[in-house]
Every structure is written in structure tokens, then in C-alpha cells.
Amino acid sequence: MADIFYPLQWIADKLTYEVFGIAPTTHLAASVNFIIYDVLKIFVLLSVMIFAISYLRTYITPEKTRKVLGGKKGLRYHLIASLIGTVSPFCSCSSVPLFIGFVEAGVPLGVTFSFLITSPLVNEAAVAVLWATLGLKATVIYVVSGIVLGVFGGYMIGFLKLERYVEEFVYKIKVGKQASEQEKMTVKERARTAFEGVKDIVGRVWIYVIIGVSIGGIFHGYAPEGILEKYAGKDNLLAVPFAVLIGVPLYSNVMGMIPIMESLIGKGLPIGTSLAFLMSVTAVSLPEMVILKKVLKKELIAIFVSIVALSIIFTGYMFNILL
Amino acid sequence: MKIEILGTGCAKCKKTKEAIEKVLAETGKKAEVVKVENIETILNYGVMVTPAVVVDGEVKLAGKVPDEKEIRKWVE
């Protein structure tokens, strides 16, 4: 297959061997080349992906979503909620008003959770960085698992009929009629919004990307091959749950985490274990839980976290076996 | 004029407030700038994604930090 990123590799090679004059066979060359290539590739993919998704997102508003999902039961609507969740990330402080807005529109609790689980899990920036580092196949696996996880997790929560664990006040709030009109945007306006999305997200994550790639690069150049196979290989059954456990409190650094995972995979960390770790970093984040605590009783939060964590562990094992 | 900034207090909400105050200072317009963190009030305006800006009771924008051009349009 033709490598569309070949020009970036060419630039990385030129810079490493000619501009910096590092001998190609050294550890330093391996690290530097890896860092330049990865940073370039990540920023290219990041910009393209965020632009595309931000553009698409101008068509999807919470009001429309409420209308589509209101009062609908059944697996199909879990899937739709999950799919909407993949393209519409919300900043964590919007999760509470969104949650109330959904419940008020009669969206079943389980369907709301399908949205809430997938939305942070599959976000365009994480997908772009993943694509740049682990390749298209791992990215597709990640996105599909994220959607399946959202559908399954939300379905379980709906199945268990946990409505009583939602704080009473949520059911009493009435959502007002007024909301900003964003319906009739021109192509130019949509493109502008998409461009602002790129500026905003790249502006926030670039530092994590560079730090992550640098750590990954050093690892790539200097750590011996196969070092992780011994401790965290497929035959170590504790590795997956352990990866999920350390993944939970790490939310803000996920953009930096991914390039580090890339180099760890290069050194023998199984893909399933790595994906489980990344999923736990994005899906079950501590700050998010603290915010949801305002509308959910602790029992429901505990069930939510357990269902998601267990499904992630299962997904990790599954990919370790399959890949 | 009364400008309300709706948001539970994330970085984007703070940025929105700063941007509005900057434009007010530059244009010399007077306005009462209030930060609204109460969820019920936010939802009463029909807003589900924050930050949002309400000028004299009318929702002007939701879900992103406004740019200076937009803010100028509202205050002038």
C-alpha cells in the first residue's frame, strides 16, 4: 500500500540525518527521527480530523438530538445515541445540563448513558492521534469498540432500571424553550466554525502531544525490544485490569498518552492491553464522575463505572486474543 | 445592559467572561456582567451546552467561546 505519509518520513529523514547530522544507526537517530515524524503526522491528522468532525457537528445540536431520541426505547436507539456521541463531544461541564436536557425530553436513562459513554470515549482528537501512531486498523477497532461499549453499557443501565438513582430534582427541572439559533448556517460559517475547532483543540493539546511523543521517542530509541513482553505480555492476565486501574485518573493527558503507548507497543506491549488502557483513560475519568455526582446518586455512578470498566477489561482480553 | 455568562465553571466559561470584559473595556460600553452557575437557570434558557452568553435575557450563543467580533455586535 502506498504510504500517504511518505513525504513526512522524507522530511523527518532529511532533518535527522542531514540537517542535524546524526548518524542513522545510532539510538539518538532512532529517537529523533521518530519524534519528528510522529509530531508532523499527528498534527496533520489532528487538523484534518478536527476540521471534518467540527464541520459535521454544526449539523448536530442537542435540541435535535433530544428530538430524535425522546421517548425511544430499543437497541436501535442506543446505537443512534452512541453514534451521535462519537461526533459530538461535549466539554465535561456540559455533561450535567445535557443529561438533564435528555432526561427532560423523555430520552430513556439507558439511551442517555449510551451517549454519555461513547461521547468522551471516541473523540476526534484521540482518534486522529491514534490513527497517526497506531495506524488505521487499531483506530477502527478502537472506534467500533467505543460504540459497542456505549450501546452495551447504556443497554445494561436501562435493563437494570436504575432511574431511582437519579437525583429527584433532575425530574423537576423544566428546560426552557429559548436556545441559540444555529440552524441556518452558510457553508462559509460552518467552515469557519470548523476552523475555530481546529485552532481551539490543537491549541490545547499540542503540548501534551509533544511531551508524549518525546517520551515515546526516547523509549523507542533506547528501550530494548521485547522488554514489556516479560511483564505485561498476553500471558499475564493481570495486565489488562491493571492497565484499566491506572488509566482511570489520567484524563487530561490522553493526547500525550497515545504516542507513549505507540512506543510501548513497539517494545512488546499487547495491543488489547494498550487499547484497554486508552479506553479507561477517556471513558471513566474522575473529574467527569465528580461532575455527574450532581445529578446521579453514588450507587448509579458506581454501577456505571463498574459496567464500563468491566466491558473495557473484556474488550482488552478480546483483542489480545484476536490480534 | 445585562450580560449573563452561563456555565458551571470550566476554562471556556472563564475565557468567555474575560473576552467580554475586554471588549467592554475597549469600547467603553457599560454592562452588568454576571456569571450564572446555577444549572436550573442555565436550563431555563434552553441551554444544554456551555459556555453560553445571554444578553438582556436573549440567548446569543451556546457551546463555544465567542470571538471579539461577535461580542462587539452584541454590546453595540
Range of the domain at A255: 6-322
The full set of domain ranges for chain B reads: 2-75
Q: Is B13 an active-site residue?
A: yes
User: What Cα–Cα distance (Å) separates residue A177 from each residue in A63, A80, A127, A181?
Assistant: 10, 24, 35, 12
CA distances (Å), origin A102, targets A32, A70, A92, A170, A193:
48, 7, 16, 10, 25
Rounded Cα–Cα distance for residues A107 and A102 (Å): 5
State how beta strands B2-6 and B52-55 pair: antiparallel
- Cβ contact B64:A199 at 8 Å: no
List the Cα angle A60/A64/A68 in 5-degree steps.
115
Does A196 touch chain B if contact means CB atoms closer than 8 Å? yes
Q: Do A174 and B42 touch (CB under 8 A)?
A: no
Which of B48, B50, B53, B58 is the mutation pick for testing A, counting most A CBs within 10 A?
B48
- For residue A214, is it within any domain? yes
Q: Residue A251: is its pLDDT beyond 70?
A: no
pLDDT at A183: 58
Rounded CA Rg of chain A: 21
Out of B2, B8, B9, B10, which one is annotated catalytic? Answer: B10
- Which of A11-15, A31-35, A195-199, A219-223 is the least confident region? A219-223
Burial status of residue B32 (CB atoms within 10 A of its CB: 0-12, 13-18, 19 or more): exposed
- Report the alpha-carbon distance of residue A209 to residue A213 in Å, rounded: 6
pLDDT at A181: 57
For residue A94, the chain B residues in CB contact (below 8 A) are: 48-50, 63
**Contact A62/B44, CB-based, under 8 Å?**
no
**Which one of B13, B42, B52, B65 is the catalytic residue?**
B13
Q: Which residues 6+ apart lie within 8 Å of A247 measured at CB?
A: A276, A277, A278, A279, A280, A281, A284
Q: pLDDT (tens digit, 9 = 90+) per residue, A206-240?
A: 888 899 899 888 888 888 887 787 778 888 889 99
- pLDDT confidence band for A179 (50 / 70 / 90): low
* Residue A28, domain member (yes or no): yes
Active site residue B53: no
pLDDT digits (tens, 9 = 90+) for B29-50: 888 999 998 888 888 888 888 8
CATH tag, B2-75: 3.40.30.10
* Span of A48-52, A212-216, A290-294, A296-300 with lowest mean pLDDT: A290-294
This prediction has a pTM of 0.84
B47-A76-A115-B39 Cα dihedral, nearest 10 degrees: 30
ipTM of the complex, rounded to two decimals: 0.83
Report pLDDT for A1: 44
CA distances for B8 relative to A114, A218, B11, angstroms: 23, 40, 10
CA distances from B23 to A199, B59, B67, B76 (A): 21, 18, 10, 10
Give the closest-approach CA distance of A190 to chain B in angstroms.
14
CA-based nearest residue to A95, from A299, A246, A304: A304
CB A149 within 8 A of CB A117: yes
In chain A, the number of structural domains is: 1
Terminal Cα-to-Cα distance of chain B (whole angstroms): 10
Give per-residue pLDDT as tens, A82-109.
999 888 766 667 888 888 989 988 999 9
Whether A1 maps to a domain, the answer reads: no
